[in-house]
Structure 1
């Protein structure tokens, strides 16, 4: 299928302290102008406060659909001026690619780099502290508007205005949205979990987590 978009904004770096307790976080991304290099570890110059759960080859680059910001702003009155692309710590902001049309394992040409969708982002409390809105992370998770992570298959340079184009699709079934529907079901189907586990390109961490869930359901 055809899947095309354009990089609207790029963000990287951005270490800062979250209110009210002063945790160090890399969610405060800075807008990038000009070309930037993407390596296996991510965008050169990007930073992460807690490398146990952020960054690394399986979470090298985070993309978030730009149109979701309007949806979130409608749910939380009064934050429209500050809820803009980059606010949730993404690296790439683009329109027309969403959790419904981006699939686990998709391989995309992004400017001069080749990236593969490895897993969805799991929203955490840092979104709440970054925006000052309690339970925003819960809404993002429940609405399944989480964005996704890429691993880098072929390093290269990217910049605003570069095209994003699908090169190869590994699964027709498991979009990011469908991933979450299976994962968060009250009692998910073991067959669905097993099928999801076998999708080429899914991160090893998520394969282990799904395998553990299958084991638990069978006990």
Structure 2
């Protein structure tokens, strides 16, 4: 599982249903490494601290393989990594096999798998249609939140190396399916 892109975003105000909404979902690939902190990714906007960031959701990873599925459903968008609001885009990240509590080495960091992402209306804003939220829920392509056990830098090309794989816990897909 190799990092294809490191993505960060700035705080952005958008109009939705005649209201101003602040979001950090507009993430774009960087040209260098990013620093994974205990609560979030350095220089990455986390607007809604109730639902994003914090130790259990410090870093969000998503699989480039999932992009193919969603590109077929939304072919007219300008596709680039970071579309799902992920900090790390991996060549593959399989929610059906990765288990909660497992730990991985990545770059200078040690990460622990915590939970799947639950989509909200801001994903629909990013995709310019709220239909993506239901499509996202109806798949197991949730992406994975990580806790940062050891902070440090991560860059494109770094490999997610298994350290301690939990065999007695649910997979991310199993947890995601119980949240629906």
Q: What is the root-mean-square deviation of aligned Cα atoms in Å?
A: 1.6
Contact 1:108 1:167 in 2 (8 A): yes
Query: 2:156 aligned with 1:160, yes or no?
Result: yes
User: In the aligned structure 1, how far is the partner of 2:129 from the partner of 2:178?
Assistant: 28
Q: Secondary structure at the match of 1:58?
A: helix
TM-score (normalizing by structure 2) = 0.91
Structure 1 pair 166–129 and aligned structure 2 pair: CA distance change class (3 A): same
| Cα distance change of structure 1 residues 13 and 78 upon mapping to structure 2, 3 Å threshold | closer
Aligned to 2:97: 101
Q: Unaligned stretches of 5+ in structure 1?
A: 185-219
Structure with greater proportional strand content: 2
Q: Which protein, 1 or 2, shows the higher relative CO under an 8 Å CA cutoff with sep ≥ 6?
A: 2
Seen in structure 2, the aligned counterparts of structure 1 residues 52 and 182 have a Cα distance that, compared at 3 Å, is closer
CA contact (8 A) 1:103 1:175 kept: yes
2:109 to 110, 113, 129: 113
Q: Alignment partner of 1:180: what SS?
A: helix
For structure 2, list consecutive stretches of 5 or more residues without a partner in the other structure: none
In 2, the alpha carbon distance for the partners of 1:94 and 1:147 equals: 10
Of 96-105 and 56-65, more deviation after overlay is shown by: 96-105
1:117-167 C-alpha deviation (Å, 9 max, x unpaired): 111100111111111022211111111211010011111111111111111
- Say whether the 8 Å CA contact 1:18–1:130 is kept in structure 2: no
Question: Match for residue 9 of structure 2?
Answer: 13
Which aligned pairs between 1:1-219 and structure 2 lie closer than 5 A?
5-20=1-16, 21-79=19-77, 82-172=78-168, 174-184=170-180
Mapped to 1, the partners of 2:107 and 2:57 lie a distance apart of 18
CA contact (8 A) 1:99 1:175 kept: yes
SS in 1 for 2:2: strand
Give 1:60 deviation, angstroms.
Answer: 0.2
